[in-house]
Amino acid sequence: MKEEIEKEIKAAAGRLASHLNNVEINGVSDYIQYDFKCKDLSDWNDIDIRQSAEHKELFNKLQDFTGPVLYFFEITSNQDTGLLRQCLIKYKTAEGSKSVPAMKKGYCKNSKILYVGKVKKKFYGRLIQHLGYYKVARTQGLQLYHWAKEFGLDIRLHAFHFEPEMHDLVSIFELKFARDLRPITGKHS
């Protein structure tokens, strides 16, 4: 039994290594960068944001991001991260708030990265959750519309689209970049 399992482990490692080698040689299949001024976010809770004039081009492009995506939100405005965390905690504890990422007890005060994440498919849906327009309150996301609008936060989305074969491996990249970028929110271990 041990030999059969070990043989399968080696075969799986070879397949996974070939996918990683492909990324090493060819890079990601696509990348997008997009800036949000949270103070300008409109209320898209009852209207599909994908059809909005100001964000339609972004969501049209994201329709092509069908496979796994590694993404992070970079803070581009000049706000104190301690105040930012206080604002997010205030929202998190407010009655009727939607679920937000974990708040690390120890965090890097100099970090300009708000959150690092990954999704295995349909990235546009995950972005809608982070913006705060998803209807299910218990689905975790940054919920930017609900607290960052008032705070005046400016962020830059960075999204790296991988080939479908990376479906099982994108989590490894999320952990690596969360450790390297040290985001202010999110629980990565």
Closest CA to 61 of 35, 36, 31: 31
At which residue do the structure tokens 């690390």 appear?
Answer: 104
In this structure, are residues 178 and 73 in contact, taking their beta carbons and an 8 Å threshold?
no
Q: How do the residues of the chain divide into helix, strand and coil, expressed in percent and rounded to 5?
A: 45, 15, 40
pLDDT at 108: 84
Q: What is the pLDDT of residues 85-112, one digit of tens each?
A: 999 999 999 999 999 998 877 888 899 9
Global pTM reads 0.91
> How many CB atoms within 10 Å of residue 170?
18
Question: E strands within the chain?
Answer: 30-37, 69-75, 113-119, 154-161
- Which residue type sits at 162? F
pLDDT for 95: 92
**Cβ–Cβ < 8 Å for 118, 162:** no
Angle at 79 between CA 74 and CA 80, to 5 degrees: 110
Amino acid 189: pLDDT: 53
* Residue ranges in the chain modelled with pLDDT below 70: 189
In this prediction, residue 60 carries a pLDDT of 93
**Residue of 83, 73, 87, 127 lying closest to 109 (CA atoms):** 83
